[in-house]
């Protein structure tokens, strides 16, 4: 069995490390020939997680996503959300027949405002039963240093989710399985918005007391949205669903992304809070802060979900409607309990 990984950024590189450490053969889709040559000459990614050394005998490195899909039984998509549609642009629908797709993307297809599973279903008639989301509070940098991390695999076919989770489990990766495909993905998108907001608060020089209240309210707002969105997409309801949202893939990911110095969303937000424009902050960073496009995408999705999102809306207005961070956070202050 061959596992494909599309994406040579930090998160894609982390997935390849986990899988090859476990002895699996990986067909790895990278951005260009320079990266490919460097991997086989120096055995590490020249741009991301360069401390990670690969067993190149387990690697088949390709430049085209469609080649990775053709050569693999299971395809892990680990690219920024901005590139999702581009990844599948040259793919023949027949090439996805009988494949399993694992999404490690914490964002939505730009312009379409769709989760990857909905995009694949619409464009390729790809069944949800063959789709697994891979989410969790797991920084690529800590995977590189083999610090214990947790990944949650969500799928409507639980035995499939368990089998795929088993491919990733090892001494530094613990795996969790659930059936909440929509909730897990939406949580991964929303926590980036709130983490970006936590960065803005830090840039505005709010203290730890405020930040703790802010994040607690973000968790509450996110949980209410997830209940409505998951019910809308799957029909799942009830108190058990709400309790699920206190686990690692939901609350845990929100906490680590809001507080960690590794968090690109917190870093991006901190720059906005200190007075950078969105464009200036983007130029300063070498990695994409998913919370920026996510803030717009969630506003679009919420036109159908109709959840009350005062915090996410204020962050959207700061990023997309040029509301000043000071004014935006004054409106947030009034909402916190």
Q: How far is CA 13 from CA 35, 41, 68, 166, 320, in A?
A: 12, 17, 15, 19, 31
> Torsion angle of alpha carbons 27, 29, 32, 33, nearest 10°?
10
**Side-chain-facing half-sphere of 9: CA atoms under 13 Å:** 15
Alpha carbon 289 to its chain's center: 10
Half-sphere exposure of 248 (CA within 13 A, CB side): 16
User: Which pair of tokens denotes residue 223?
Assistant: 């949980």
Q: Find the catalytic residue in 191, 274, 300, 322.
A: 191
CA–CA gap between residue 227 and residue 206 (Å, rounded): 30
Look up 191 and say whether it is catalytic. Answer: yes
CA-to-CA distance for 325 and 323, rounded, in angstroms? 6
* 199 vs 235: CA distance, rounded Å: 35
Residue the block writes with tokens 């690219």: 79
Residues with catalytic roles? 191
């Amino acid at each position: 069995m061959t596992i494909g990984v599309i994406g040579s950024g930090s998160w894609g590189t982390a997935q390849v490390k986990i899988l090859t450490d476990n002895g699996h053969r990986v067909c790895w889709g990278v951005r260009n020939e320079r990266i490919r040559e460097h991997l086989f000459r120096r055995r590490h990614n020249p741009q991301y997680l360069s401390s990670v050394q690969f067993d190149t005998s387990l690697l088949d490195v390709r430049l085209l996503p469609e080649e990775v899909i053709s050569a693999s039984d299971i395809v892990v998509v680990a690219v920024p959300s901005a590139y999702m549609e581009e990844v599948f642009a040259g793919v023949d629908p027949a090439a996805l027949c009988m494949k399993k797709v694992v999404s490690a993307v914490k964002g939505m297809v730009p312009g379409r405002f769709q989760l990857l599973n909905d995009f694949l279903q619409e464009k390729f008639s790809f069944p949800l039963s063959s789709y697994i989301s891979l989410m969790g509070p797991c920084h690529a940098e800590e995977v590189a240093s083999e610090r214990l991390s947790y990944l949650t695999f969500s799928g409507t076919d639980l035995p499939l989710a368990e089998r795929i989770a088993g491919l990733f489990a090892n001494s530094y990766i613990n795996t969790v399985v659930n059936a909440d495909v929509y909730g897990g993905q939406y949580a991964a998108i929303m926590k980036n918005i709130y983490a970006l907001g936590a960065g803005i608060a830090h840039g505005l020089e709010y203290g730890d007391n405020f930040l703790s209240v802010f994040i607690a309210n973000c968790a509450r707002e996110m949980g209410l949205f997830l209940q409505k969105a998951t019910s809308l997409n799957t029909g799942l309801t009830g108190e058990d669903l709400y309790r699920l949202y206190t686990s690692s893939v939901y609350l845990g990911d929100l906490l680590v992304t809001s507080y960690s110095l590794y968090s690109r969303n917190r870093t991006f937000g901190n720059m906005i809070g200190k007075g950078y424009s969105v464009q200036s902050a983007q130029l300063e960073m070498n990695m994409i802060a998913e919370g920026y496009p996510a803030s717009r995408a969630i506003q679009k999705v919420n036109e159908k979900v109709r959840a009350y999102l005062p915090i996410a809306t204020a962050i959207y207005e700061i990023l997309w409607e040029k509301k000043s961070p000071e004014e935006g956070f004054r409106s947030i202050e009034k909402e916190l309990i």
